[in-house]
Amino acid sequence: MINFAQILKNGTTISSSGTTGPAKMVLRTPDNLRACIDVAIAAQQLTKRSKVLTVTRMTHAGGLLTQTLPAYSIGAEFKVQQFNAFSFLKDFKDYTHTFLAPAQMTALMNTKGFKDCDLTGKRILGGSDPVSWEMIEAFVSKGAIVQPNWGMSEVGPIVINIEFDSIDKVAYYKDKYHKGTILGDTVYCDYKILDTVLYVKGPTCIYDTWFKTNDIVREYDNVLYYQGRIIDETIL
């Protein structure tokens, strides 16, 4: 049983996903958590009447910090359960918000129930890995409000995102600049791009100085796009 009150009081450690290197534990202090919660609430329009369905592990920033802990902090209803692609769409009918990783989004798109599902007004935050245009289009076409989001275990995890609430908006941004995965037009921290690499700083970051993310990012017409990642000076 997770003691969310103790987490808010004392802080906690979360694990990185391990997708870009060895998994590691990251310490989040109470002040850092509060800053992350404030951003999460504002970015996703979370209120006491929101209902969050969490299907990502609690040791990961996406599971704990994007919606679950913010919901707890304001007294909103939330439920934590294991992800099941075949039952998720039915379970989600009674909820307003969820966080999905791209692998989960793909799994849902491949179920028989996805073709005729109605996600009108549901907010889906997508992250942990790049969220493709195909995924964004698929869920927005079902009525969902999709927010592809960039964050890391060391910062956020809600840091850079954009809200897609119509297919027309998806088409506009997709046609505008399609040479990379869209990160967003709203940034919830200080940032700079040096030699194509993104640096971030602010209350939601665990470091006091500029943090080099190693993500290669391009800014085009006030929108940030993901181009790849540097690992051991190798571009992936």
Q: Which of 9-13, 75-79, 93-97, 103-107 has the lowest mean pLDDT?
A: 9-13
pLDDT in tens, 98-120: 999 999 999 999 999 999 999 99
H or E, element range at 128: none
CA distance 236 to 229: 5
Percent of the residues in the chain that have a pLDDT greater than 70, as a whole number: 93
Q: What share of the chain is helix, strand, coil (3-state, %, to 5)?
A: 30, 35, 35
Residue found under tokens 């996903």: 17
CA 162 to chain centre: 11
Q: How many other C-beta atoms lie within 10 A of the C-beta of residue 31?
A: 10
**CATH entry 3.40.190.10 includes domain 4-187:** no
| Sequence spans of domains, the chain | 4-187
Q: What are 160's strand-pairing partners?
A: 150, 187
Q: Please give the average per-residue pLDDT across 126-149, as a whole number.
A: 94
pLDDT in tens, 177-214: 767 789 999 999 999 999 999 999 999 999 999 999 99
